[in-house]
Structure 1
Amino acid sequence: MQIQINTDSNIHGGEDLIRQAEERISSILERFEPHLTRIEAHLSDQNGDKGGPEDKQCVLEARPTGQQPVAVTNRADTVEAAYTGAADNMAKLLDSRFGRLHQAKGGESIRHLPVE
């Protein structure tokens, strides 16, 4: 799974920020690796130098194999909180999406459990 981090001109941190973001996003989404080809994170500072509450934003886009891309957005006070929150939101979305794909109507029910 390839992870690409993009930042706007107001986000500073360089290679350290990119490495930390890649590692954090990867650790949260690693269980979906067989289903994803790429993840893109777009980090931005909505207010620039002015600051303000929840002005850091992360738009996280995942590309599931053979499906349309999905995206989530998270705003927070820090860049780290923004990409961590976005990765958590993406995990919930992917849990829902892949859970539905693997659940078939008429699957196993409680009646099929072994009797002790």
Structure 2
Amino acid sequence: MKIQINTDKNIEGHARLENYFSGELEKSLARFEDKITRIEVHFGDENGEKFGLNDKKCVLEVRIANLQPLTVTEHADTLEKAFSGALAKAKKSLTTTFEKMKAH
């Protein structure tokens, strides 16, 4: 499972940020590891320098072997909250997808 983290020009993408979020993804999605080929994380700050509520955005694109990519988006007031919300949505969608596949 390859993990790629992207940030827009308003967010500094440094090694600590990448290590933290990569580790969280690997931990949280470990049970799907054999089915996921790649995960792309896109962080953005929609207001730039200006303050705004829920202006941080996290988009997770999960590429699953032999299936269409799964994409979820979450807005929050911090990157960490946006990430954890998007991760929760992704886990729920992956669980539902693979449970439906088992049923058929």
Counterpart in the other structure of 2:73: 73
SS in 2 for 1:42: strand
Which portions of structure 1, spanning 4 or more consecutive aligned residues, are displaced by more than 3 angstroms? none
Aligned length: 104
> Rg larger in 1 or in 2?
1
CA contact (8 A) 1:25 1:84 kept: no
The runs of 5 or more residues in structure 1 that have no matched partner are: 105-116
Whole-angstrom CA distance in 1 between matches of 2:13 and 2:7: 10
Identity of aligned residues (%): 44
Counterpart in the other structure of 2:58: 58
Q: Output the TM-score relative to the length of structure 1.
A: 0.85
Whole-angstrom CA distance in 2 between matches of 1:29 and 1:87: 9
Whole-angstrom CA distance in 1 between matches of 2:100 and 2:70: 15
Whole-angstrom CA distance in 2 between matches of 1:54 and 1:102: 37
Q: Output the TM-score relative to the length of structure 2.
A: 0.95
Alignment deviations for residues 46-88 of structure 1 (CA, whole Å, 9 cap, x no partner)? 1111021111101100011011111000111111111111111
CA contact (8 A) 1:10 1:48 kept: yes
Q: Whose helix proportion is higher, 1 or 2?
A: 1
